[in-house]
């Protein structure tokens, strides 16, 4: 993981900025579809941009909306099972 962090920090502007905050349950990148294995540099750049946008625009209201999304996903998962 450290090798990936070093590699991406050299290739992506502001990559290390996302390490300045504690990780949460989810983030903008995950909610907007950037999750799982990153297949190329462009996907990683998009993920980092989403995370940095979230850090710069954070609000309690935004986190409340994210909680609603998580609850919907949880509910949908069990309704399909």
| Structure tokens that stand for 34 in this block | 């950037």
**Rounded distance between C-alpha atoms, residue 55 and residue 74, angstroms:** 25
Mean pLDDT by 10 residues, the chain (81 residues): 84 86 70 76 87 85 80 81 62
Domains of the chain, by residue range, sit at 2-80
**Rounded distance between C-alpha atoms, residue 42 and residue 24, angstroms:** 23
Nearest to 47, CA basis, from 10, 15, 4: 15
C-alpha pair distances (Å), 24 with each of 10, 41, 47, 63:
25, 23, 15, 10
| Structure tokens that stand for 21 in this block | 């905050």
The contacts of residue 18 (CB under 8 Å, 6+ apart) are 48, 51, 52, 55
pTM: 0.63
Q: Which residue has the tokens 């309690």?
A: 60
Give the per-residue pLDDT at 27.
67
């Amino acid at each position: 993981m450290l090798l990936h962090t070093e590699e991406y920090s050299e290739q992506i502007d502001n990559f290390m900025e996302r390490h300045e905050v504690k990780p949460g349950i989810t983030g903008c990148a995950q909610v907007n579809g950037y999750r799982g294995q990153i297949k190329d540099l462009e996907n990683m750049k998009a993920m980092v941009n989403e995370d940095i946008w979230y850090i710069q625009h954070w609000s309690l209201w935004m986190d409340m909306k994210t909680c609603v999304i998580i609850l919907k996903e949880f509910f949908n998962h069990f309704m399909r099972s």
